Structure 1
Amino acid sequence: MIRIKICGITNKEDAWVAAEAGADALGFIFVPNTPRYIGDRSDLEDLLENLPPFVTRVGVCRNLSDASRLRGVPLDAIQLYEPPRMEERALLSVVLQGRGLILACRMRSVEDALEIGSRLEGLAISGVLFDAYDEKRLGGGGVVFDWNLACLAKSRVSVPVILAGGLTPENVEAAIRQVGPWGVDVSSGVEVAPGKKDPQKVRQFVVNARRADICKASG
């Protein structure tokens, strides 16, 4: 069954809307100076701990150095946009503290897709997320990339693939049918403004993703 992550959650109301709609995971942004950053929230632990059971909490960071500040924060997985450098890999277990690792890879060319295996080599990761390349931001920009690149990259990895990059309630069905990912990730595609989700869009995204998954399984 397709897994659905609603990313860029900034408040308890949106977290519960997403969870009750059927989202499997929620993403919380720990990249400073971005519109969905929550790292300086005084009520951070309350937001993260008071969620329904079985909802995976994912902390999104730029790199391992940023993730190292999240020790003790109640998260189930860490998503990095920059792979750990060789000299940092010995620190992975200390930083992760038993949490899963998702590596985000931004796609803009065939070369990016072909090199995906070498980028993951030697890393024990729970999954890889394919996102659009945007020189101004790491994610959440609403940019769709060529899904043919996602298909090519997917064929070169052996870990679960999560598709992101400009997904919306309108295009998620086509994305799932073409790429066949393990999971999908959406942020700006279900918002009324950066950091504020549209409940109806969240619900429709989940419905459409589930429908595409059922059609794919039965077809």
Structure 2
Amino acid sequence: MAGVSSSSILLPTTRVLSLRDIAVDRDGHPALRGVDAEAHAGRLLAVTGANGSGKSTLLEVAAGLLTPHRGAVDLRPGIRIALVPQSTPLAAHLPLNVTDIVAMGTWGRLGTWRPARRVDRDLVVDAIGTVDLADLARRPVGTLSGGQRQRALLAQALVQRADLVLLDEPMAGLDSRSRAVIATTIGHLTATGSAVIAVTHDIAEFTAVDDVLELQDGRVVRAS
């Protein structure tokens, strides 16, 4: 495993995010109904449930992309968040390779298009190695498989050195090799202090899950 790690100095199990009584309506229909959830440093929270149960909506609230109609979002001050969406086809005509995509994770510290420092270049190289894409570092992103693209996006999150990492169906439809690499990388994230929330249909995809939140019709039906 390469040397990318969270820069978090949070103690293990420190609460980084608390959602209380979250309610969200979409197009006049309730997407979340009084949901409570917490994320802690060094732990993986798996959010599961059927399609339409509210999993992705919960992730959007956690990321600050969606304001709930009711409830409180309590984010620990100074927390850095990385959101990794589902693997999607990236435009093949864009002049970007794997290294370019991963390096975007440094922009929050450097600013867009500013020259990278040596330490940031090293982080990019380490992150690419961590997700087993070193041999494809100069490969145009548009030529990658879905699994390779998802691994590149996860490497981008590694470079951000986020305290809270949000993953939306990170292994959906991927090949077995990519699923294994992603599961190992998620374990690396929690081991180095990041809190991780992952939306999934199958908890068994992960090598270890610390907490489970199961949703049904926008309500919590199981929390453990």
TM-score, length of structure 2 as denominator length = 0.36
Query: For the pair shown, which has the larger CA radius of gyration, 1 or 2?
Result: 2
More strand by share: 2
More helix by share: 1
Higher relative contact order (CA 8 A, sep 6+): 2
